[in-house]
Structure 1
Amino acid sequence: MLSTTSSRRPAWAGRNYTLLTAAAVVTGLGGNGALIAAAFAVLEAGGDGGDVGLVAAARTLPLVLFLLIGGAVADRLPRHRVMVAANVLNCLSQGAFAVLVLTGEPRLWQMMLLTALGGTGQAFFGPAAEGMLMSSVQGEQAGRAFAVFRMAMSGASLGGAALGGAMVAVLGPGWVLAADAAAFAVAGALRAFLDVGHIPPRAPGGGLLADLREGWREFAGRPWLWGIVVQFSLANAVVGAADAVYGPLVARDHLGGAGPWGLALGAFGAGTVAGALLMTRWKPRRLLFVGTLCVFPLALPSAALAVPVPVGVLYAVMFVAGATVEVFGVSWMTALHQEIPEDKLSRVSAYDWFGSIALVPLATAAAGPAEQAFGRPAALWGCAALVVLVTAAVLCVPDVRNLRRRTTQVARGAKTGSADAESPVGGLG
């Protein structure tokens, strides 16, 4: 039976890849519903938009503080152990959050503390997970493997957001948080079986600071890498504020509450599934140029909430934004896998994450005051405009326009530069 199952898998879908994908689906189902549940838990406890922003910021702030350390730890210790430990912390923090919501009226500081513990777990989990995934695939099919992985995650996001919104509306946010805690427990058990025997042992070297400096040199020496990270440090901040703070408020005031907002997030997830499906066949030659062009539609959801448009139009806008940004996501992962040495993957990933989320706590915390100062529509239009501006700016970086897909696999332990491109598949050009 095992040999039959293995023979039906593509060559690039090995044991680690399969376990990583299954675990990501489980946590995706739980986590996307929990994001909605946390926002509505704050609102049901009597909080306002500013309080929702503070709880969202409390999760992101530990990411900013601990991500770089998490990346260095993940390149030094077995990555699967780091991932399991982080899942345990997330399970306990979400379980405690669920108990608070189900048994009484949670206080704002309690919700912020538990959310911060979850963010701390994510700071160590993220770089380890990305390094583990990239080391689990090889060869020219890496882009397809990343697309399938992201498609599975997007499908989980679709189901998790839609189911989470419905569960919040019917059962309340506490049960959704409890389900997320259980999902972390299951995912941690799956990740405990990952095999890191194929990863060469780290040579003895300096301490944590030396590891961080080495990762920084790898990061700072590539203009395409830090240029796009700067772009997303601003874009993610405003999109995060729109989704975490303004979206639930617009849903409450104009769309009918948690259910429609959950479906809107689900439409975004459906779009990412479609985008990932496209990328299983399409191999654009200029990876980052095509990917960056596909970031512009990420401004559309904020603009739609600013109007606000009818629910059906919002669903369509979210779908388009999800599909196009997923083209970028797959292209970005393929570029990292192609260009970054294996022993530095987690540290580079940590610098990537750090830059990409560094401003999110400030943006989410400032969302409430910005709404009071300028009005919600003006704040949302500002979010949309900033996404367009920073995306246009990063296209001025030559390496973003010129980095090309490789036709042959290079040694994973060596630094690489540009190479000749593969032709795109399927005539998509």
Structure 2
Amino acid sequence: MHSYLSDLGLLRDRRFALLLSARTLSVLGSAFAPVALAFGVLGLPGATAATLSVVLTAESVPMIVFILFGGVLADRLPRKWVMMAGESLMAAGFFALAAMLLTGWTPLPALSAAAAVTGVGIAIMFPALTGIIPEVVPPDRLQAGNALLGLGQNAARVAGAVLGGFTVVQVGGGWALVVSGAMFAVAGALLALLRMEPVASRRERHSVLADLRDGWREFSSRQWIWVVVAQFSLLVMAIQAGHGVLGPLIAKETLGGPAGWSAFLAGEAVGTIVGVLVAMRLRPRRPILVGVLLCLPSALPYVLLGLDAPLWAIVTGAFVLGVCFDVFGVLWQTTMQREIPAESLSRVSSYDLLGSMMFGPIGLLLAGQAADLFGTEETLLACAVIIVLSTLAALLAPGVRNLRAPEREPISS
């Protein structure tokens, strides 16, 4: 029998509490960083939007390039140590950026190199995170564990966005980056306290390329995974365009500028927290089918923005997006952790992350051009159409529709 009280009992488990604390602090640092970095770089003498673009690209490219290597690393080595390495690299990168901003020595190549270090840290950390959760959380509590981790992460994102802006205003971007780096460092220290059960050698050692081939075999042999990842490659492209470029454009033109867009993002943030609470209780027999169906309502805010709906309706649509995406995320993570062998889980997760993110930069690149050619509202409606059509296409796959959760969740010892 599941209840919120029994799920919250996970917090009494020292290992889970340490993982939750470390992950929440890390996300808080990640939420601080974009505001601090953006205003810190733009505040430099002679800096332009192009300067910031170069630094952000220097972070994102290594993240994509090294994500598969991060999966191999996390399947070969103890995942706790891999996560610690990722947190340490992120701390080092942000401390270096902070030092440059505070001392005034800010050559663009050096800023880009420090940003690249943070990108490598992210690439190493995320596949290990997916794999370590089943090592910490009992099998019958996996969904609750993923939901509680999501709750901490979402609360940290909201708090970080607010506190990051406040810190930048009060003490400047450089010191805000010091705070961000310190959070990553503390997260790594908390992970060091995590006592993990000894894990026998997971498999025979092969070359990195052989490991990647084995991971691809696990990934591609499961229709439900590769179909949904293909769906999300298009869906994320549309959302990046809508959130990164088109939504702020509409907000500037018709919703009162930053205040209107902040209301949109606040509605979405509240939705993510409610979504986690829903996911803690939801136990669908066909989790991937339910998760994919929940992607359909995520088109709603882009339809409302494209139709010039009133702000309250648009914020409501953003709330629905937040709820649906977080329920999907918990169901997706839990199903992967149940269905993928532990020795391959991080590599499969790295293929998932790479495939889902690969068209995101294209969405950002094309959004402005499409808005100029066809109009902002029309392009937002096109984003909604992409979300709906990609989701309907995913629903055609038998693997998506038919994958069932265990008849009865296993009982932990």
Q: Is the TM-score greater than 0.5?
A: yes
Give how far 1:148 is off: 1.7
Q: Secondary structure at the match of 2:25?
A: helix
Is contact 2:87-2:185 (8 Å) kept? yes
CA distance in 2, matches of 1:388, 1:348: 26
- 2:16 maps to 17
When you count helix as a share of all residues, which structure comes out higher?
2
Give how far 1:242 is off: 3.2
Is 1:137 the counterpart of 2:137? The answer is yes
Q: Which moved more, 1:399-408 or 1:298-307?
A: 298-307
Is contact 1:63-1:354 (8 Å) kept? no
CA distance in 2, matches of 1:179, 1:80: 23
- 1:344 maps to 344
Show the 5 A alignment for 1:11-410.
14-40=13-39, 47-48=48-49, 55-101=55-101, 112-168=112-168, 173-247=173-247, 261-262=261-262, 264-306=264-306, 312-409=312-409
- 1:422 maps to none
Q: Which moved more, 1:230-239 or 1:213-222?
A: 230-239
Letter in 1 for 2:23: A
The 3 A distance-change label for structure 1 pair 266 and 194 is: farther
Give how far 1:106 is off: 6.1
CA distance in 1, matches of 2:259, 2:99: 23
CA distance in 2, matches of 1:407, 1:12: 26
Give how far 1:269 is off: 2.2
Letter in 1 for 2:364: T
- 1:417 maps to none
Letter in 2 for 1:282: L
CA distance in 2, matches of 1:89, 1:400: 37
The 3 A distance-change label for structure 1 pair 134 and 250 is: farther
Letter in 1 for 2:132: M
The 3 A distance-change label for structure 1 pair 150 and 162 is: same
Is contact 2:139-2:411 (8 Å) kept? no
Q: Which moved more, 1:270-279 or 1:156-165?
A: 156-165
Matched length? 405
CA distance in 1, matches of 2:263, 2:165: 7
Q: Secondary structure at the match of 2:84?
A: helix
Q: Which moved more, 1:338-347 or 1:291-300?
A: 291-300
Letter in 1 for 2:18: L
Tell me the TM-score normalised to structure 2 length.
0.86
Letter in 2 for 1:35: P
Q: Which moved more, 1:263-272 or 1:85-94?
A: 263-272
Is contact 2:24-2:149 (8 Å) kept? no
Q: Secondary structure at the match of 1:32?
A: helix
The 3 A distance-change label for structure 1 pair 361 and 13 is: farther
Is contact 2:130-2:337 (8 Å) kept? no
Unaligned runs of 5+ in 1: 1-6, 413-429
The 3 A distance-change label for structure 1 pair 301 and 171 is: farther
Once the two structures are superposed, residues 122-144 of structure 1 have per-residue CA deviations (whole angstroms, 9 ceiling, x without a partner) of 11110011111132223333212
Q: CA RMSD in A?
A: 3.2
Tell me the TM-score normalised to structure 1 length.
0.83
Give how far 1:343 is off: 1.1
Letter in 2 for 1:289: L
The 3 A distance-change label for structure 1 pair 286 and 387 is: same
Give how far 1:263 is off: 5.2
CA distance in 2, matches of 1:405, 1:380: 36
Q: Secondary structure at the match of 2:9?
A: coil
Q: Which moved more, 1:358-367 or 1:26-35?
A: 358-367
